[in-house]
Amino acid sequence: MNERIVYMDNNATTPIAPEVKEVILQTLDIYGNASSMHGPGRLASAAVSQSRGKVASLIGAQPEEIVFTGGGSESNNTVLNLVFSDIFNNTGRNRIVTTRIEHPSIYETVQTLTDKGIEVTFIDVDGQGNLKMDDMAAAMGDDVAIVSVMMANNEIGTILDVSGAARLAHACGALMHTDAVQAVGRSPSMSVSSMSISSPSQAINSMRRRGSELSISRRHSILPPHPRWSSGSRQESRDL
């Protein structure tokens, strides 16, 4: 008996788009180490560089600003753990401002950080999921290290005012982070260079592409120079 399936969980993950599947199959034949100087290595390096350029073009960034990670959750955790730690150690800022409707990789991570003495301020949203900007403005201060506001909510689809939040964050000297997983490829205005989060030291974004987990951290210059793993060079010797 044939059953027709109507799949309605695309915010969680999507079927692989035919064009994505084609590229994946092609890259399975590229087996070289992208850090090696031999022919297969140079071929792999070229493929990675091409991919980085396409991702940068998609979000209005520069290729050298892109760092690939294993997924959106890893990108978010990198920001909230490594970057926050670096800011705290250098400036003493010990507070994170975020919303109550963030993805668990943000919400649960900041909850964990409170156990370490980090202060977290949660901003409420209205009945439509819109950010309460007056509350956001009131929460700013010179003790804020990072402001994290998702760009598009994965449950109700609300587009949050990330640019407005970024202006408030920058005004008090804080870093702006946005989880843009649900916005990339869907929002025509998704251009980090034209938003208030375009300053080279003030923005990191996370994203997912159709058919695979593909996350990026933008503005790699702010990533702290201490790697999580002891290993060889990776991603053009970036420490992440």
CA distance 232 to 230: 7
Q: pLDDT grade, residue 237 (50/70/90)?
A: low
The strands making up 203-206's β-sheet, listed across from edge to edge, are 119-123, 95-99, 144-148, 175-179, 203-206
Asked whether the predicted pLDDT for residue 239 surpasses 80, the reply is no
212-221: burial string, b at 16+ Cβ within 10 Å, e else: eebbbbbbbe
CB distance 141 to 168 below 8 Å: no
**Per-residue model confidence as pLDDT tens digits over 42-92:** 999 999 999 889 888 887 778 887 878 777 888 888 888 887 888 888 888
The pTM assigned to this predicted structure is: 0.79
The answer to whether residue 192 scores a pLDDT higher than 50 is yes
Torsion of CA 147, 148, 152, 158, to 10 degrees: -60
Torsion of CA 90, 91, 92, 96, to 10 degrees: -110
Whether the predicted pLDDT of 9 surpasses 70: yes
The answer to whether 18 and 28 have CB atoms below 8 angstroms apart is: no
- What is the chain's mean pLDDT, rounded? 79
Give the mean pLDDT of 216-228: 51
Q: What is residue 157's predicted lDDT score, i.e. its pLDDT? A: 86
Query: Percent of the chain scored above 90 by pLDDT?
Result: 35
At 190, the pLDDT band (50, 70, 90 cuts) reads: low
Map out the domains of the chain with their CATH numbers.
Answer: 18-51 (no CATH), 64-222 (3.40.640.10)
Asked if the model's pLDDT at residue 121 lies above 50, the reply is yes
